[in-house]
Amino acid sequence: MTDTHVTKRPLALLGLGDMGTALARTWLAAGHPLTVWNRTAAKAEALAPEGAAVAASAAEAVAANTLVVLCLLDDASIGSALDGVDLTGKDLVNLTTGTPAEGRARAAWAQERGARFVDAGIMGTPSMIGAPEAGGYVFYSGSRALFDTHREVLEVPAAARFVGEDPGHAALHDVALLSAMYGLFGGISHAYALIEGEDIAPKDLAPLLSEWLGAMGFFTGNAAERLTSRDFTSGVESNLAMQVAASGTLVRTAADQGVSTELIGPYLDLMRERLEADPAAHAGEDTVGALTLLRRAGR
Ligand code: FVH
């Protein structure tokens, strides 16, 4: 049998913003029968020439399919799109960005309505969808049975990584990676601010920054090992006391260059807080020990 005779699984997609439209196009191009619905109908109608079946309502799109994918703005828009829609027997896959708590609450909400549920976090931008070479992928968590049933369909737009049956864990992975990304953006922004007005072109600093950040990438694995073993002192090359002393150079240089330390200051403050809490105990530690201060009481 040739590929053209293989029946591709049908699905519905609710939400055709930038991301939803990119997803829709990959499923259509791969030959999956796709029903689309969008609050603003024109975005759904634009996909009809590419083979999409346009539903007049979210209820109509859901009724016509077992697999229903959501790619809406936020959790509240899911509530408004699916209010009163019969979800009995449906498999809901939520690609809408949300918090872990929202993922768990949506899973309970879906279960109460007789649906299976998987939450997801997209690690990529619309141009990375349907472009495996771009390296984008999607975290999924929740019903393993649902994921296994639909894995092939879900992997059409981007690679899939299932991270467990807790429906909050896809969002938690998503937010952890995005939070690390913003820390990185903050550090890079500070570095460029320092050289502004000097005879150093940003394009000349760029490769040096990339190379240095690549070399410092070891911190990810180092932190994971120390946070697991709770050993913050063995094999330390750059101890906390030295780093706190050296951080004064960073702060004074920023002041001399007329640059705010608001982006890097909180991390330097955390190291100092750890050292000052008990200098004898913490001076020889790796900076990873300071991360233990981040968890606030009550959680
Ligand atoms: N675009 C990106 O780079 C990121 C990559 C990582 C994942 N995010 C998340 O994906 C979700 C959708 O993002 P998007 O880029 O498609 O967002 P928009 O283009 O703004 O489209 C939003 C869609 O949601 C519909 N919508 C909004 N409010 C409601 C509502 N109350 N009821 C029903 N639908 C609603 C909106 O409809 P319309 O404005 O066209 O009528 C769009 O279809 C998102 O969670 C990102 O965080 C994207």
* Chain segment 109-136, per-residue pLDDT in tens: 999 999 999 999 999 999 999 999 999 9
pLDDT tens-place string over residues 284-297: 999 999 999 998 75
Does residue 38 line the site of ligand 1, with CB under 6 A? yes
The pLDDT of residue 7 is 85
| Whether domain 11-165 has CATH 3.90.1150.10 | no
**Does residue 1 have a pLDDT over 70?**
no
Ligand 1 atom closest to the Cα of residue 20 is: 16
Does residue 14 line the site of ligand 1, with CB under 6 A? no
Average pLDDT over residues 168-197: 98
Confidence band of 4 (pLDDT split at 50, 70, 90): low
Reading the block at residue 74, the tokens are 């936020």
**Do 11-165 and 173-294 share a fold?**
no
The secondary structure of residue 3, as a DSSP letter, is G
**Does residue 299 have a pLDDT over 80?**
no
The pLDDT of residue 51 is 98
**Does residue 2 have a pLDDT over 90?**
no
**What is the Cα–Cα distance from 269 to 119, expressed in whole angstroms?**
36
Residue nearest ligand 1's atom 5 by CA = 125
Confidence band of 6 (pLDDT split at 50, 70, 90): low
Q: What is the average pLDDT value for the chain, to the nearest integer?
A: 96
Nearest one of 102, 190, 91 to 146, comparing CA atoms: 91
pLDDT tens-place string over residues 87-115: 999 999 999 999 999 999 999 999 999 99
Structural domain boundaries of the chain? 11-165, 173-294
**Alpha helices of 135-289 — where are they, by DSSP H?**
144-154, 169-195, 202-215, 218-229, 240-256, 265-277, 279-282
Q: Write the CA distances from 225 to 184, 222, 233, 286, 289, integer angstroms.
A: 21, 5, 12, 12, 12
Does residue 19 line the site of ligand 1, with CB under 6 A? yes
Question: How many angstroms is it from 115 CA to the middle of ligand 1?
Answer: 23
**Does residue 75 have a pLDDT over 90?**
yes
Q: What predicted TM-score, i.e. pTM, was given to this entire model?
A: 0.94
Q: What is the CATH number of domain 173-294?
A: 1.10.1040.10
Does residue 125 line the site of ligand 1, with CB under 6 A? yes
Residue nearest ligand 1's atom 32 by CA = 77
